[in-house]
Structure formats: C-alpha cells, structure tokens
Structure 1
C-alpha cells in the first residue's frame, strides 16, 4: 500500500502550530486534537515536528519553566518526510531506523498530510488479514 492510499483512508487533516507557540498551548492542542505530534510551520514551510516525546524531554530537562517557552526551543528540527508514492514497507523501515513515530507527507513541496506509526501498523494488519482471507478462500476452493 502507498502513502497516498493511507491519506485517502484517514483524511488529509494536518494539525500545525507556529514556532512561537508556547509549549503549554501546544500541549493543549495535542489534547484537543487527540494526536501525538503537531507539525511546526513557518508560513508554508515545515520547520519542525513537536511530539509528546519532545515535550517529555523538555520538562525533564527544564522543569515546569519549559512550558512557557516557545515550541521552537524543543521541537525536532531535522524533519524526516514521506512522499505519497512511497510504500508502507519503506515508511516502516524509515520510522524504525530513525526512531520517529510521525512523518509529514509532502506533495509537490507542500504539506499534504501526516502518517503515524499507528497508521502504518493498521495498514499492515489490514494487509495481513486480507492475505489470510485470500489463502482461506484458495484452500477452500481447492
């Protein structure tokens, strides 16, 4: 399955914030949207990803004072992207190797969606079920 197909199934909603958004506001947005990461944009450019993991590190390092700091202080700036034509297997490898759970998807250099590790796992499970059902059907017909 391709990234584009995952986005069709889950929708292309992307939740973003700006680098100057406080960590407190970012936490509230994560809670409101019920997601594990937000894409940080400066205009049309993706400049970072802020994940729950980034927030935990921020609080561990700087305590409660981190919450009043801008997102830019703690976001991951080395953003790893996905493209619509890539396969789930390629994404799984990239996510595992780079130890990331969310990949922004770029289409024609524009933010087109986000794929999470949960999306990838869900897709793998669906493919395994479909393959098992195909085998059952084949065996029953034989």
Structure 2
C-alpha cells in the first residue's frame, strides 16, 4: 500500500507554525521549545514561503558566533532553498529525498499555498504503522487458510 502525504496530513493534522524573517533567533528558540517542534516555516508578509529555520540552524549560529547571535533575525540563519512536498507524493519517495538531502522537515505545498509540514519522524512513524498493518493483514489471511 502506498501512503500519500495527503493521507498522512489527514491523520497528523495540517497545522503549520510559521515565523517571519525579522523574528529574532531568541524568540524562535522559545517558540520551538513551547510548541515542541523542531522547525518553523519562514513566511513573508504575504504568506509566501521564503525559508525554513530549525533547531540545528540556531545551534549552528550560537556555535559559530556565540550567544549574541540570539539577537539576530531569522533571515541571517534560515535555509533559503526550501524543498517542499506535494500532497500526492508518497512517503517512500519523500523518505528518499529527505535522506539524500539530509533534511528533517518538508513543507507541503499545493498550488503555491502552504498546507502542512511533515518531519522525517512523521514519515517513519507512518511507514512503521503501514508495515504493521500489512503484517497483521497477512497473518489474518494465513490463519483463515
């Protein structure tokens, strides 16, 4: 069974937390902690995706320039080249893309509009659930003989 990202979003939810390029790293770090997420999509005033900022980006900034980097705007550290997923893509395809590109979060876009976000953890969890379901189905089929 090939699970599509749209199906995953129906289960997981479509809520996406965003920040602006002008937000400080300190405020974003606090939001990452309170929202219990690993990354935010960065959008401009019109709602267009202009980047993504993760815990890793903030740690890298602190490691290279020290604590004063927390006063910097997100635009200084965010990843500007954002890879995104479409709702019709499969979990298997996205796991491959994320592994190849060494990224952990993908915004989901439809018609140029942000409709969700998935993490590599979301995809692995869905893959495991699908495998368990398939195993249970096969066991039931074999037992029914």
Residue 117 of structure 2, aligned match among 114, 119, 139: 114
SS class of match (1:121): helix
TM (norm. structure 2) is 0.96
**Deviations along 1:48-100, whole A, 9 cap, x unmatched?**
00011111111111110110000000011110000000000111001000000
Q: Does 1:21 align with 2:13?
A: no
What do you get for the CA RMSD once the two structures are aligned? 0.6
Q: Does 1:75 align with 2:78?
A: yes
Residue 100 of structure 1, aligned match among 91, 99, 103: 103
CA apart distance, 1:19? 0.1
**Residue correspondences, number:** 142
Alpha-carbon distance in structure 2 between the residues aligned to 1:46 and 1:26: 16
- Segments of 5+ residues of structure 1 without an aligned counterpart are none
TM (norm. structure 1) is 0.98
Alpha-carbon distance in structure 2 between the residues aligned to 1:109 and 1:75: 20
- Segments of 5+ residues of structure 2 without an aligned counterpart are none
Match of 1:133? 136
Q: Does 1:46 align with 2:14?
A: no
**Deviations along 1:9-67, whole A, 9 cap, x unmatched?**
11110000000000000001101111000000002210100011111111111110110
Structure 1 stretches of 4+ with a deviation exceeding 3 A read none
Residue 87 of structure 1, aligned match among 86, 90, 93: 90
